[in-house]
Copies of this chain bind each other. A is one copy, B any other.
Amino acid sequence: MPTIKEIAELAGVSRGTVDRVLNHRGHVDSIKEKKVLEIAKALHYTPCPAGKTLAIKKKNLRFGYILFSSTSSNPFFIDVVDGIEKRAAELGEYNVSVDIRYTGEKNPELQVKQIDELLESGISGLAIAPINHSLVIERIRELASNGFPVVTVNSDISDSGRIAYVGSNFYKSGETAAGIMNLICAGSSKVGMVMGSPLVLCQTERVAGFTNRIGEAYKGIEITATEVNNDDDILSFVVTKRLLEKHPEIDSLFLVSAGVLGACRAVSELGFTEKLKVVCYDTTIASRELIDSGAIVAAITQEPFYQGTKPLDILLDYVGMGVEPEKEYYYTELGIKIKENLY
Q: Which residues of A contact B (CB under 8 A)?
A: 1, 46, 48-51, 53-54, 92-95, 172, 175-176, 178-180, 183-184, 186, 213, 297-298, 300, 333-341
In the complex formed, the residue of B with least CB distance to A340 is: B179
Question: Which B residues lie within 8 Å of A179 (CB)?
Answer: 338-341
Q: Which residues of B contact A186 (CB under 8 A)?
A: 184, 186
Min CB distance, A216 to chain B, in Å?
A: 12
Q: Are the C-beta atoms of B334 and A336 separated by less than 8 Å? A: no
Oligomer copy total = 2
Q: Is the CB of A92 within 8 A of B1?
A: yes
Residues of B within 8 A of A48 (CB): 54, 93-94
Q: How many Å lie between the Cα of A271 and that of B93 in the bound state?
A: 61
Pick the residue among B53, B213, B338, B339 that contacts A340 (CB under 8 A).
Answer: B213
Residues in chain B near residue A339, CB distance under 8 A: 179
Whether B172 pairs with A340 at a CB distance below 8 angstroms is yes
Known: A1-B93, A93-B46, A298-B183. A335 touches B335 (CB 8 A): yes
**Sample (17) of A-B pairs whose CB atoms are under 8 Å apart:** A1-B92, A1-B93, A48-B93, A49-B50, A50-B51, A50-B54, A172-B340, A175-B340, A176-B338, A179-B340, A179-B341, A180-B340, A183-B184, A183-B338, A184-B184, A213-B340, A334-B341
The interface residues of chain B lying within 8 Å CB-to-CB of A176 are: 338, 340-341
**Cα distance, A341 to B177, chains bound together (Å):** 9
New A-B contacts (14) at CB < 8 Å, excluding given A48-B54, A333-B335: A50-B51, A50-B53, A50-B93, A50-B94, A51-B54, A172-B341, A176-B338, A178-B340, A179-B339, A179-B340, A179-B341, A183-B298, A184-B184, A333-B341
Given the complex, which residues of B lie within 8 Å of A54, measured CB to CB? 48, 50-51, 54
